[in-house]
């Protein structure tokens, strides 16, 4: 006669076989077709809870020491509703400032936001191990600059020259203008130089206010002339490659979403005041995720040598005229163009193609300008007039810094 035993009764018989009959655990496990570990588990449960310990129970633990506290989750949900643009990293940073206790992890915050219906779950690609963020090693080494347009609440279209320090993401320029012409852009550029000093390099796109590389006729924009007179190396992004100036483009997106979207501004003056206030908040108060939640101002710090050079840089800006005169001697460093020319004060001088890419020292004294490679004298030329284009070569083989020939040269 077959008798159906419950699960608890079967486990109880196995326990009695070991406890009462003194059978080996291995023999009992083989007899009932289970593992030795299972027999030991039931013995431990029987000794702890008696017969009730053999009842089926959930595998979920009764406690979770690292579970997010209810008060923390409530605070997290409130922060997210107050600031819908904040992600898990920013929310974790704000929670750490509000409480001395260690904040929950980023993944825990993400799951809490999904659980409360504040964000939609997404499948994110894992970042490649070889990925490295490209940035310069110190402040004032490179500025990224660009011109962006935006509309006010009344439909008025304005432009803004913006500049970001590549190392610190510090906003060095945010000049609003009615029209992005060369004079207005260079006025904002000069103001940024007077305020923060002279960077080593500047990276821009190929806009006509920045470069004459793609102009139909030979031209040197005022922006490029200012860079050459200040000793700034002007770098240009590849055509149709906005990611090259990605940091300043990302600043535009942040500015649009946090300030310009849905704003009630109607005049240029009001827009400039609002943007100035936001730039101060962006530089000194708003933590930047790419900087390890530091503010750009905390990372935008000169070393001692740069701080000592600030008065000299300001004196240089004040002393450099728009057009250098012949009687003023100066010494600067220039890089030889692939065509073998060096540009000084809007005048091109020929030093030879064999020196292309080399750094030369330019010394001008009176009516003579000399070019040195180290201590060796390369060329001596009469100093060209501001309106003259080329010195030291055949006029029929005049070389202008541009990527394509002009219409006159083609004809």
pLDDT given for residue 303 in this prediction: 42
Q: Mean pLDDT across the chain, nearest whole number?
A: 82
Q: Supply the DSSP symbol for 219.
A: -
What is the DSSP pairing of strand 142-151 with strand 201-204?
parallel
pLDDT given for residue 355 in this prediction: 85
Token pair for 407: 């219409």
pLDDT given for residue 174 in this prediction: 95
**Mean predicted confidence (pLDDT) in 154-171:** 94
- Of residues 238, 241, 239, 207, the one with CA closest to residue 224: 207
Which ranges of 203-267 does DSSP label H, i.e. alpha helix?
222-230, 246-255
> Where do the DSSP E strands lie in 74-165?
142-151, 157-165
pLDDT given for residue 405 in this prediction: 42
Question: What is the C-alpha to C-alpha distance for residues 288 and 300, in angstroms, rounded to an integer?
Answer: 12
Query: Confidence band (pLDDT; 50, 70, 90) for 2?
Result: low
> What DSSP element (H or E) covers 369?
strand 368-373
**Mean predicted confidence (pLDDT) in 153-182:** 93
pLDDT given for residue 391 in this prediction: 64
Question: 42 in helix, strand or coil?
Answer: helix
pLDDT given for residue 368 in this prediction: 83
Question: What is the C-alpha to C-alpha distance for residues 227 and 346, in angstroms, rounded to an integer?
Answer: 11
**Mean predicted confidence (pLDDT) in 357-375:** 85
Q: Residue 245: how many CB atoms within 10 A of its CB?
A: 21
pLDDT given for residue 397 in this prediction: 40
pLDDT given for residue 238 in this prediction: 87
Query: Confidence band (pLDDT; 50, 70, 90) for 401?
Result: very low
pLDDT digits (tens, 9 = 90+) for 260-283: 887 788 899 999 999 999 999 999
pLDDT: which is higher, 219 or 176: 176
In percent, the amount of the chain with pLDDT more than 70 equals 83
Q: Which residue has the tokens 């913006």?
A: 162
Helix axes 7-19, 36-49, angle to 10 degrees: 90
Q: Supply the DSSP symbol for 128.
A: P
Question: 6 in helix, strand or coil?
Answer: coil
* DSSP bridge partners of 330: 364
> Where do the DSSP E strands lie in 117-257?
142-151, 157-165, 171-177, 201-204, 233-236
pLDDT given for residue 393 in this prediction: 55
pLDDT given for residue 36 in this prediction: 93
Which of 123-132, 207-216, 360-369 is predicted least confidently? Answer: 123-132
List, as own/partner pairs, every contact residues 33-36 make where C-beta atoms lie below 8 angstroms and the sequence separation is at least 24, other chains included.
none
What is the DSSP pairing of strand 390-391 with strand 347-350?
parallel
Strand order in 233-236's β-sheet?
Answer: 171-177, 157-165, 142-151, 201-204, 233-236
> What DSSP element (H or E) covers 371?
strand 368-373
pLDDT digits (tens, 9 = 90+) for 11-69: 999 999 999 888 999 999 999 999 999 999 999 999 988 888 888 888 877 777 778 88
Question: What is the C-alpha to C-alpha distance for residues 210 and 158, in angstroms, rounded to an integer?
Answer: 18
* DSSP bridge partners of 382: 368
Q: Alpha carbon of 169 to those of 140, 162, 200, 343: distances in Å?
A: 11, 12, 16, 31
Q: Would the pLDDT of 154 be above 80?
A: yes
Question: What is the C-alpha to C-alpha distance for residues 49 and 306, in angstroms, rounded to an integer?
Answer: 74
pLDDT given for residue 385 in this prediction: 63
> Where do the DSSP E strands lie in 281-367?
330-335, 341-344, 347-350, 359-365
Helix axes 88-98, 106-115, angle to 10 degrees: 110
pLDDT given for residue 411 in this prediction: 40
Q: Would the pLDDT of 142 be above 90?
A: yes
> What DSSP element (H or E) covers 377?
strand 376-382
Q: Would the pLDDT of 167 be above 90?
A: yes
Residue pair 166/135 in contact (Cβ under 8 Å)? The answer is yes
pTM: 0.60
Token pair for 357: 């890419």
């Amino acid at each position: 006669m077959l008798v159906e035993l419950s699960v608890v009764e079967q486990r109880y018989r196995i326990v009695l076989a070991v406890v009462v009959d003194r059978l080996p655990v291995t023999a009992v496990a083989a007899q009932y077709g289970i593992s030795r570990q299972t027999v030991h588990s039931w013995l431990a449960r029987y000794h702890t809870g008696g017969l009730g310990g053999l009842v089926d129970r959930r595998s979920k633990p009764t406690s979770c020491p690292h579970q997010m506290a209810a008060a923390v989750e409530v605070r997290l949900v409130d922060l997210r509703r107050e600031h819908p643009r904040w992600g898990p990293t920013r929310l974790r940073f704000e929670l750490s400032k509000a409480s001395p206790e260690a904040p929950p992890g980023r993944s825990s915050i993400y799951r809490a936001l999904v659980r409360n219906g504040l964000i939609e779950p997404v499948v994110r690609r894992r970042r490649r191990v070889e990925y490295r963020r490209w940035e310069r090693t110190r402040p004032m080494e490179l500025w990224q600059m660009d011109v962006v347009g935006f509309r006010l609440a009344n439909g008025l279209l304005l432009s803004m020259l913006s500049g970001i320090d590549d190392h610190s993401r510090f906003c060095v320029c945010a000049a609003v203008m009615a029209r992005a012409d060369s004079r207005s852009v260079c006025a904002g550029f000069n103001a940024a130089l007077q305020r923060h000093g002279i960077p080593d390099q500047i990276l821009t796109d190929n806009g006509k206010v920045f470069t004459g590389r793609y102009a139909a006729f030979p031209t040197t924009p005022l922006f490029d002339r200012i860079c050459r007179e200040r000793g700034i190396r002007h770098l240009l992004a590849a055509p149709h490659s906005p990611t090259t100036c990605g940091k300043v483009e990302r600043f535009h997106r942040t500015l649009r979403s946090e300030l310009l979207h849905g704003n009630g501004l109607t005049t240029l003056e009001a827009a400039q005041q609002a943007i100035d206030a936001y730039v101060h908040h962006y530089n000194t108060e708003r933590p930047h995720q790419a900087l390890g939640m530091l503010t750009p101002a905390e990372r935008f710090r000169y070393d001692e040598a740069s701080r000592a050079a600030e008065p000299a840089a300001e004196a240089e800006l004040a002393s450099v005229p728009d057009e250098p005169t012949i009687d003023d001697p100066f010494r600067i460093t220039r890089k030889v163009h692939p065509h073998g020319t060096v540009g000084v004060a809007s005048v091109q001088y020929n030093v030879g193609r064999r020196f292309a890419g080399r750094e030369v020292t330019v010394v001008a004294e009176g009516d003579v300008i000399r070019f040195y490679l180290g201590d060796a004298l390369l060329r001596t030329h009469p100093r060209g007039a501001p309106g003259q284009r080329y010195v030291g070569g055949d006029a029929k083989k005049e070389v202008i810094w541009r990527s394509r020939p002009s219409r006159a040269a083609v004809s």
